[in-house]
Amino acid sequence: MPLLKKWIQQDAVFGIWQVTEPFEWFRSRLISPYPYDEELQSFKSETRKLEYVATRVLLHELYGKETSIGHHDSGKPFLPDTNTYITISHTQGYIAIGICPSAEIGIDIEYRSDRVRRIQNRFLSKEETDWCSSPITDNAIEKLLLCWTAKETVYKVMNKEGVDFSRDITVHPFTPYQDEWFTVSEGGTLTPKEHLLHYEINERFACTWTIDR
């Protein structure tokens, strides 16, 4: 299946690709002279190679033309020779990308599994843990997945090292499937701010995104 979902929010464009095609299918669609082969040779993992080519095919779909992707020392991606911001996320079988010409953006996608339960102590505060385990609204796994992806999303627009997910990023309670968006507070800086996040949650994955206005 090629493009799973593509949408526009304000002046940003987002897309999710379900990666079911083989490596050669994606590689055959990369036609420009950028040194893909040289970069691909540096990857030992076949999964990493597949993510690499699939990411660039999805970017072409969203951006309208093929272009290279650079990375800062922090690992944050950027598009050379343009002021367009880009955000990228990979998870098992899916790739998500967002691009925006006017503001930093963040997106994160995570496949649905119980793995998030085992690591929740790494990224949840006590208050968030209580909310996620509360029987009042239920949907515990959904809340955990959305908390994890939300914090990853906000981290991508913070541009700050040494962020403690449990202390410096706070997800405010909301009702998955009912509320169209929710808010996340960013602390650990001299100028705390609040981010508005949109999301999608289904039987396959959780995805959150934001535009940092």
pLDDT digits (tens, 9 = 90+) for 40-52: 989 999 999 999 9
CA dihedral defined by 29, 33, 37, 42, rounded to 10 degrees? -120
The proportion of the chain whose per-residue pLDDT surpasses 90, expressed as a percent, equals 77
Bridging pattern class, strands 70-71 and 77-78: antiparallel
Answer yes or no: is pLDDT of 4 > 80: yes
CA distances from 179 to 3, 39, 76 (A): 26, 42, 30
DSSP 147-209: HHHHHHHHHHHH--SS--HHHHEEEPP--TTT-SEEEEEE-SSSS-EEEEEEEEE-SSEEEEE
Give the mean model confidence (pLDDT) for residues 66-72. 90
Assessment of whether the complete model's pTM goes beyond 0.85: yes
Residue 33 has pLDDT above 70, yes or no: no
At 73 the pLDDT is 87
- Strand (E) or helix (H) holding 59: helix 46-63
